[in-house]
Structure 1
Amino acid sequence: MPYRMYIRNTFSMALRLGAAIVLGVAMPMVFHNTAAAGQKVLLSYEATPSSGFNLPGLARASYDDRAAFSAQVLKQIIPKIISANGIDPATLETEVTPGGYLLKTNASLQTEGELDDITADRLAGSLGYVFRQYSVLVSRLDDTSGKTGFVIVQFPENTLNAAVAQKFFEAADATKKGLGGGYTAFGDEQIYLNVTNSEGKPYSGLDDDAFLDGLKQTAASFHAPKPEIAASGKATARFIGNDWDKSGGGEDYLGQLGGPHSALVEKLETIGKDYASLVATTAEKNGWNHD
């Protein structure tokens, strides 16, 4: 299974640069391919809002609290968003997993399934709009036309948790600078994407061979649980997003979702109320709404 995410600063910067988890270090500018519904796509995002809510205590939230909230969102909100897009939730697999950015691991969500590009991007926009994310990563590891280098680090079954992911993340950065930009995880796989800018230059500062070599060295020297490099190659990756600092109404997402009065957006507005209620309840419980 495949890849994952970045948080607000990366998303915002990516949008401002015109692009967007390494997943290597920041934001790729990757053009649409014509992937068909038979090819798996992964959507990577967070459930905790990046904008639109007054949550001064969220920055101090523990991984466990974020993961617990994400699990509630997965159960109560995400199936509604998927259904609003005309997709059977049973056809997609979503997990709460670790996701890393600049040597910090947070709880993230990964949704994987067989969707064509248009449907995948629309679902990504729907998730980003409801959860007030600066961006949602859409990626495919099985796309032979991709131009983004990737490496999958495989851990033994049921051993990749947030602590192990963070430990390997730090070890990778210590082995070779440029590997500490970000990662995503799915099951027992930790995925690194060596994303590039519009000129094709990796944000990590490493070419794909050096990127792979650094992760091979890290895996070889890493102790229990013992990982291995399961795969490497090229992927496609793009970010569907909205700069909430400039477009406070989510205009970039709305443009992709048929406009502010589309049937889909009207459904998402209703779902958004349920999400806001869940945020409020959790924030009060965990003190996210207090300094």
Structure 2
Amino acid sequence: MNLPMRSKFGKAALGAAFVVMAATAAQAAEPVLISYEAAPSSGFELPKLDQATYAVRAAFALQALTDIVPKIAAAAGVPVSKMVSEVTPGGYLLKTNASLQTMADLDDEAADRFAASLGYVFRQYSVLISRLDDPSGQTDFVKVTFPRDKLDSAVAQAFFEKAASVDKGLGGGYTAFGDDQIFLNVTDSAGKPYSGLDHAAFLAGLEKAAAEFEPVKPTVSNNGKAVARFVENDWAAKPAGEDYIARLGGAGSDLVKKLDAIEADYAALVGAAATRYGWK
């Protein structure tokens, strides 16, 4: 089983997949975007992983996308026909890293199950689920679109830094998919944006950054309301992934048993990469 995918360093066509998803989206809600990483955040002794270059992390992410993500999708009951994935830049606190993005035509229950499955196998502290252009959402978003195939990791990081130079509140984080760099004005439990900016200021800052950015010229192509939530597990406090397991039916569930078997394949992939790239 192969997911439709594209990597920022080795691209394949996504057109057919987008056509299918666009037709589905026209009949229902917008697809969800699931944002995560493949390199483990816990559970492995890899003292030199933090020194890995973007290219190395991207190569590992692509391997995980090819070998592991389809198995997780099948276990979680997510049809491959409803998904399109890519290795793409993702940013947090002014640092860009290789991330994985999966756009999928899923309802909230299926999206949460899939996100928890990804977080559990890949040992991530959190997986972000977002749905743009959803009027029921409480999170503002701004989409910055670049000329076709120009949004690589260097351009994404440069624009991230430019946005933060306009207002430090714009340096919190971003996701990217295709030619779009997406900024979510994430709020705390009281509904207060972590950026310190209301939507008008958030939008104005990114419009200013886009107008001044060069040599690639992006445009602010969309903004509005989004649903955004994190599916999480604190591996330091819950080293067995208890919060993910609770979402997946409990430790004895068929799904968790399937994911445990997949995690063994993932551990082998991590071990081979650690030897190849000198992470130990």
State whether TM-score is above 0.5. yes
Q: Any conservation in 1 of the 2:33–2:130 contact (CA below 8 Å)?
A: yes
Q: Any conservation in 1 of the 2:142–2:220 contact (CA below 8 Å)?
A: yes
Determine what percentage of the aligned residue pairs are the same residue. Answer: 61
Answer 1 or 2: higher relative contact order, Cα 8 Å, separation at least 6: 1
Choose which of 155, 161, 171 in structure 2 pairs with 1:180.
171
Counterpart of 2:208 in structure 1 is 217
| SS class of match (1:178) | helix
Choose which of 43, 49, 71 in structure 2 pairs with 1:52.
43
1:91 is displaced (CA, Å) by: 2.1
1 or 2, which has the higher helix percentage? 2
Choose which of 151, 155, 161 in structure 2 pairs with 1:160.
151
Choose which of 139, 142, 148 in structure 1 pairs with 2:133.
142
Q: Deviations over 1:225-267 (max 9, x none)?
A: 1000000011010000100011010000000000011000111
1:85 is displaced (CA, Å) by: 1.2
Counterpart of 1:120 in structure 2 is 111
Mapped to 1, the partners of 2:163 and 2:105 lie a distance apart of: 31
Gaps of 5+ in 2: 1-26
Q: Deviations over 1:53-91 (max 9, x none)?
A: 001000100000000000000000000000011222232
1:38 is displaced (CA, Å) by: 4.6
2:199 corresponds to 1:208: yes
Mapped to 1, the partners of 2:133 and 2:144 lie a distance apart of: 16
Mapped to 1, the partners of 2:28 and 2:53 lie a distance apart of: 37
Q: Any conservation in 2 of the 1:39–1:115 contact (CA below 8 Å)?
A: no
Q: Deviations over 1:14-62 (max 9, x none)?
A: xxxxxxxxxxxxxxxxxxxxxx975311110000000000010001000
Question: Which range moved further: 166-175 or 80-89?
Answer: 80-89
2:97 corresponds to 1:109: no
Choose which of 38, 60, 64 in structure 2 pairs with 1:73.
64
Q: Residue 156 of structure 2 aligns to which amino acid in structure 1?
A: A
Q: Residue 212 of structure 2 aligns to which amino acid in structure 1?
A: S
Mapped to 1, the partners of 2:178 and 2:187 lie a distance apart of: 26
State TM-score, norm by structure 2. Answer: 0.89
Choose which of 15, 24, 42 in structure 1 pairs with 2:33.
42
State TM-score, norm by structure 1. Answer: 0.86
2:252 corresponds to 1:247: no
2:269 corresponds to 1:278: yes
Counterpart of 1:235 in structure 2 is 226
| SS class of match (1:265) | helix
2:21 corresponds to 1:61: no
Aligned length: 254
Mapped to 2, the partners of 1:204 and 1:140 lie a distance apart of: 20
1:224 is displaced (CA, Å) by: 2.1
Mapped to 2, the partners of 1:154 and 1:96 lie a distance apart of: 17
Choose which of 177, 187, 195 in structure 2 pairs with 1:196.
187
Q: How does 1:10-49 map to 2 (within 5 A)?
A: 38-49=29-40
CA RMSD in angstroms, aligned pairs only: 1.0
Q: Any conservation in 1 of the 2:78–2:110 contact (CA below 8 Å)?
A: no
Gaps of 5+ in 1: 1-35
Mapped to 1, the partners of 2:138 and 2:56 lie a distance apart of: 36
Question: Which range moved further: 125-134 or 86-95?
Answer: 86-95
Q: Any conservation in 2 of the 1:39–1:116 contact (CA below 8 Å)?
A: no
**Structure 2 CA distance for partners of 1:51 and 1:37, relative to 1, 3 Å:** farther
Q: Residue 283 of structure 1 aligns to which amino acid in structure 2?
A: A
Counterpart of 1:94 in structure 2 is 85
Mapped to 2, the partners of 1:121 and 1:88 lie a distance apart of: 15
Q: Deviations over 1:85-114 (max 9, x none)?
A: 122223200110000011110000001111
